[in-house]
Amino acid sequence: MAHALDAARFLLSETDPGKLGPSLAEVAFVGRSNSGKSTMINALCRRELARASRTPGRTRTINVYEAAPLRRIVDLPGYGFASGPAESREGWGAMIEGYLSGSRTLAAIFVLVDAKLGPTRLDLEMLDWLQAEGLPWRVVATKTDQVQPSRAAVRRREVARAVGVAPEALAWVSSRDGAGVGELRNEVARLIGVAGGKN
């Protein structure tokens, strides 16, 4: 069945958060390189919008998609991939923070954490920073297909504890087998104000 996010299209890529232009509502995806951000955006919108990469650290721009005019989904550069000079890594951090603290229309920031690996030090730093800034965040465990089904409940509790949330508050998603994708799709649509509840 059709869903409001099926209409999502690529809008722009930018390195300067000040040049993203106006928006009515948006959600952003952050996480370490290779955590599954691009693949998840593609799964949510059911099309190859974001370039998923075999080479970690490829997305170095803020990539913006629109599900309807001024209703946005934002793919942020992955943090924590050690390639390139230290200054450019610092630069990506400043770009991400500049965007997150500067946007007035951010309805949620989804922090993607690999379910099998759990949060890295940088993930925990990001969560502390979001909390300190008073920004609305939610942790999404990704690639849950890589956790043995018999271990899933235990693993979900472990990852939830590690990021400091209740197990039910941790989204548990696999872009590969589709687990949790429908719920997250509805949540994103509602947050950016394109909800039709058509799923």
Ligand X SMILES: Nc1nc2c(ncn2[C@@H]2O[C@H](COP(=O)(O)OP(=O)(O)O)[C@@H](O)[C@H]2O)c(=O)[nH]1
Residues that bind Mg ion (CB under 5 A): 37-38, 59
Q: Which of Mg ion, ligand X, none interacts with 31 (beta carbon under 5 to 8 A by kind)?
A: ligand X
Shortest distance (Å) from residue 83 CB to ligand X:
12
Shortest distance (Å) from residue 63 CB to Mg ion:
8
**What is the total count of residues that contact ligand X (CB under 6 A)?**
20
Q: How far apart are CA 14 and CA 94, in angstroms?
A: 13
18-47 binders of ligand X (CB under 6 A): 31, 33-39
Taking the least distance from each CB to ligand X, the nearer of 15 and 24 is 15
Strand order in the sheet with 25-31: 9-14, 62-68, 71-75, 25-31, 106-114, 137-142, 171-172
Shortest distance (Å) from residue 113 CB to ligand X:
11
Helix (H) or strand (E) holding 95: helix 86-102
Q: Is 17 in the site for ligand X (CB under 6 A)?
A: no
User: Which positions from 65 to 104 touch ligand X by CB under 6 A, shown as an x/- string?
Assistant: -------------x--------------------------
Q: Which residues are CB-neighbours of 143 under 8 A, at least 6 positions away?
A: 36, 114, 115, 116, 174, 175, 176
Q: Which residues are CB-neighbours of 77 under 8 A, at least 6 positions away?
A: 59, 60, 61, 62, 92, 95, 96
Q: Is 53 in the site for ligand X (CB under 6 A)?
A: yes
Helix (H) or strand (E) holding 142: strand 137-142
Q: Which of ligand X, Mg ion, none interacts with 103 (beta carbon under 5 to 8 A by kind)?
A: none
Closest alpha carbon to 28 in 68, 98, 60, 76 = 76
Taking the least distance from each CB to ligand X, the nearer of 21 and 84 is 84
C-alpha radius of gyration, the chain, whole number: 16
Please identify which residue in 176, 190, 193, 195 interacts with ligand X, judged by CB under 6 A.
Answer: 176
- Contact positions vs ligand X (CB under 6 A): 31, 33-39, 52-54, 59, 78, 142-143, 145-146, 174-176
